[in-house]
Structure 1
Amino acid sequence: MAERTQERDRERDRDRALPRIRLDQPRVRRPRLLPEYDPEAFGRLSERIARFLGTGRFLVWMTLLIIAWVVWNVSAPENLRFDKYPFIFLTLMLSLQASYAAPLILLAQNRQDDRDRVNLEQDRKQNERSIADTEYLTREVAALRMGLGEVATRDWMRSELQDLLKELEHRDGDRRDLFPDEGARGSDVPDR
């Protein structure tokens, strides 16, 4: 029994020695070995570069640079040439440019695919809402049509009134008996 108590005391002392993790406070950031960067800013930069690489201006400048490079290294004095005939340094520079251009273009394409995916999802949701609205309006128009079938139209009212007028004309003699002349009784209240 005493051993259990001593063991519990040791565990309690160990728990007190460890720093307690608090959930109401942010965690302490650990130092990183790799540098941190903003992926969104890097993505925007890669899109700008990829957009420039796909223009005619880039092709013209690249062509002029290569022509100047070759002309300089062929026609310049021997001691001023920095890349002799097989143009190994030019090949290295073009390979380096291509090795960076390809991943930048792929990154820009991936970002564009993500934007397209989001736009397609928004378009799909908008289409679903439009379809639901159209179905609702279709049901409402159908209900109005059904309701209008039960509503008295102007022509129907006109025919009913004409029928009543004809019926009253046939009863013209009976009408005088039903509504005697008020003036004959000597009423002093005028009709309104």
Structure 2
Amino acid sequence: MSDNRRPRLDTPREARRTLVRRPAYDADAFGVFAESFARFMGTARFLIWMTLFVLFWVSWNTLAPDDLVFDEFPFIFLTLMLSLQASYAAPLILLAQNRQEQRDKVVAEQDRQANARAHADMEFLAREVASLRLSVGEVATRDFLRSELRGLVGDIEELTRGRSDDDHDGRTPA
């Protein structure tokens, strides 16, 4: 007797309905925001503004009359604000770094592919140059022809000088 209510292992489960929907957001827009935030936090301008803010906070809470002080306890609210800022800044900076790492991976893969294509092209060109050298090795070059022609001209000049010397001696060439 089989139990029809028992789930089968070879079929996927039905999607459960949830009472609370996850918020939808554009991952790219959020990533761009995280990168611009991380880029801003890494500037001297941010450090200067943050330093001025902390100096103002400390000096105001130290020098102002008791009724105008923001932070009644010794800078606990300032510590809380800085901790809150750090707790948001760290994940945003990590998100920006992850996006940069993904871009770097894509660029590295493109560089690897370009290097592989260049290597294949260089091997092809090396084979072509080698085949051209073999072909040219079997063909008479201009320098080779000139040297052979010079040698022949020299031989002809010697022969003509030798005949002219024979004509002066009164002998006839055979």
Over 3 Å counting, the alpha-carbon distance change for 1:153 and 1:33 in structure 2 is same
Please give the alpha-carbon distance, in whole angstroms, between the structure 1 residues aligned to 2:40 and 2:90: 13
Percent identical among aligned pairs is 59
Instruction: State the partner residue of 1:67.
Output: 55
Instruction: State the partner residue of 2:27.
Output: 39
After the TM superposition, list the runs of 4 or more consecutive aligned residues in structure 1 that deviate by more than 3 angstroms. Answer: 155-158, 160-166
Q: Deviations over 1:147-182 (max 9, x none)?
A: 00011222444526975995xx99xxxxxxxxxxxx
Instruction: State the partner residue of 1:124.
Output: 112
Residue correspondences, number: 139
Aligned with 1:129: secondary structure? helix
Aligned with 1:130: secondary structure? helix
TM-score (ref. length: structure 2):
0.72
Please give the alpha-carbon distance, in whole angstroms, between the structure 1 residues aligned to 2:52 and 2:117: 54
Over 3 Å counting, the alpha-carbon distance change for 1:150 and 1:72 in structure 2 is same
Amino acid at match of 2:139: V
* Unmatched 5+ stretches in structure 2: 1-18, 161-174
Please give the alpha-carbon distance, in whole angstroms, between the structure 2 residues aligned to 1:71 and 1:46: 32
* Unmatched 5+ stretches in structure 1: 1-30, 171-192
Match of 2:90 among 102, 126, 130: 102
> Aligned Cα RMSD in Å?
2.6
Structure with max Cα Rg: 1
2:129 is the counterpart of 1:141 = yes
Contact 1:74 1:84 in 2 (8 A): no
Please give the alpha-carbon distance, in whole angstroms, between the structure 1 residues aligned to 2:67 and 2:144: 109
TM-score (ref. length: structure 1):
0.65
Please give the alpha-carbon distance, in whole angstroms, between the structure 1 residues aligned to 2:82 and 2:121: 57
Higher relative contact order (CA 8 A, sep 6+): 2
